[in-house]
Amino acid sequence: MTATRPAPPLRALLGRSTARVVLIGLAALLVWGIWRPLPRHGAATPEARTDSALYAAVIERVARGEPYYQVMADELPRRGYPTGSVFNWRPPTLTLMLARARVVSFVVLLALVIAVIGGTLRLFYRESPEIMLFALMMQVGAAASAFNPLALVLHETWAGLCIALSALLYAFKRFVPAAIVVVAGLFIRELVAPYALACALIAIYRRRRDETAVLVVGGIAWLLFYGWHAMAAREAMTAGALQHPSWIQWGGPRFVLAAIGFGGWLYLLPPWVAAVAATLLAASAWSPMPVTHARVGALIYALFFMVAGQAFNQYWGWLVAPTWTIGYGLGAAGVVRLVRSAFPTRAMHPP
């Protein structure tokens, strides 16, 4: 006797008219996205002038014993980065890990990548083979890109894996481990805060006390840590430090498309292909799969990037790429459901 995959569960169909209206809206989104893509920022930038080169240099100097904030105070202005804003000074967590425990850091990164890819496979295992393989293939590109030397040293890469892993753990109802991973991501990159706040609100609303305790206590610890980090950064700032332009740029949907295009395989494709991914993200709302936190995370950062982010911050897409990739799989399932609802066959609705 041979084992077989379980058949995909039957999905309730939507109203025919509703499904057709939604499909027309998705088609309009796709056409608009293809027509109005933003050029990919930094594609022609020499590697020596990238954020990756900056943090690689900082890690090497810290590994030789130099103090983190002293190194940042030297490297940032020397490479043309403004130093007058705390937000340009990354928390030291990841740098210290990579500088002083490289083997352990690599093992942790490998575990995160395997967990995210394996969790994605498990999440879509009951879907059709085509949807499962599509989601898996896209996640391999998004998660495994963390091993790219340019991505390895970026805080967004590590924090993005934490967000995706927590969303998958939530989908499997592992609430406390998911909360712990969220808090860990906070200590790597403060941009995890909007997602962490949403997780806390959901936990409070659903009265999950243990998860709420982890998120509240972890959030307070992070606030204290970030306050200390801000004071240390300000002490290291030199007189007349160059101020950074506001991150509030109202880049709108086009900046979101650009951020989407930075993730995984999409980075290797023309910028307009991000419109296809964005359409799948929108279609994920009609997938019947109960994956609340992945949807919430994808939506939060889509809205966040409409408001915040300079043109050169398109690489922030790495922060959400693995989570958005879960959304692509959900979107594929949503499109199938919409098409079947809009154009039902007689087999679905017998006389």
Secondary structure in 3-state letters for 63-116: HCCCCHHHHHHHHHHHCCCCCCCHHHCCCCHHHHHHHHCHHHHHHHHHHHHHHH
Say yes or no to pLDDT of 4 above 60. Answer: no
Instruction: With both helix axes pointing from N to C terminus, report the angle between 321-342 and 274-283 in degrees, rounded to the nearest 10.
Output: 70
Question: What pLDDT band is residue 10 in, cutting at 50, 70 and 90?
Answer: very low
The structure tokens listed for 189 are 């990159």
Question: What pLDDT band is residue 3 in, cutting at 50, 70 and 90?
Answer: very low
Residue 271 has a pLDDT of 86
Most distant CA atoms of the chain, gap in Å: 80
Backbone angles phi, psi at 332, to 5 degrees: -60, -45
The structure tokens listed for 132 are 């499962």
pLDDT one-digit tens code per residue, 199-220 = 999 999 999 999 999 999 999 9
pLDDT one-digit tens code per residue, 136-155 = 999 999 999 999 888 999 99
- Per-residue pLDDT averaged across 189-193, rounded? 95
The answer, as to whether pTM is greater than 0.85, is yes
For residue 104, with 0-12 CB atoms within 10 Å meaning exposed, 13-18 middle and 19 or more buried, which class applies?
A: exposed
d(CA 126, CA 224): 43
Residue 350 has a pLDDT of 45
- Per-residue pLDDT averaged across 155-184, rounded? 97
Backbone angles phi, psi at 249, to 5 degrees: -120, -10
Residue 45 has a pLDDT of 61
Average pLDDT, the chain: 88
pLDDT one-digit tens code per residue, 241-260 = 666 677 677 878 888 998 99
What's the sign of the alpha-carbon dihedral 255, 47, 54, 65?
Answer: positive
Residue 80 has a pLDDT of 81
What are the domain boundaries of the chain? 16-37+48-239+248-342
Question: What pLDDT band is residue 134 in, cutting at 50, 70 and 90?
Answer: very high
